Amino acid sequence: MTQTHPAMPLQTKSEPRPTTPPDRPTRDVAEAAVLLGVSPWLVLQQIAKGNLPHKRFGRRILIPRRAFLAWLEDVDGPGRQV
């Protein structure tokens, strides 16, 4: 990678994202993917199928924390698969 500004360090995709305050009421797709241990693409696929509750703000997709936790509890039931 090339450095765009001498004062700015190089960043790679493998660097961890900044942490999100745990009390924030929403998560974005990337944060939900990390919490689930899956790819962001898979989270988007579940949203497109209508399986994962979300809110759209223009092009941004946010997942309400309480709805996400309730969805996770429901999905985690015996023999249930998404």
Residues 10-50 have pLDDT tens digits of: 555 555 555 666 678 999 999 999 999 999 999 999 999 99
Q: What pLDDT, on a 0 to 100 scale, did the predictor assign at position 2?
A: 52
Global model pTM greater than 0.75: no
Residue 62 pLDDT class (50, 70, 90 cuts) = very high
Q: Which amino acid is at 57?
A: F
Q: Is the pLDDT of residue 53 over 70?
A: yes
d(CA 53, CA 65): 10
Q: Is the dihedral of CA 21, 24, 45, 61 positive or negative?
A: negative
d(CA 30, CA 39): 8
Please report the beta strands in the chain, taking only residues with DSSP state E, as ranges in sequence order. Answer: 26-28, 55-57, 60-64
Q: What pLDDT, on a 0 to 100 scale, did the predictor assign at position 41?
A: 97
Residue whose C-alpha is closest to residue 68's, from 36, 40, 42: 36
According to DSSP, residue 77 is labeled: S
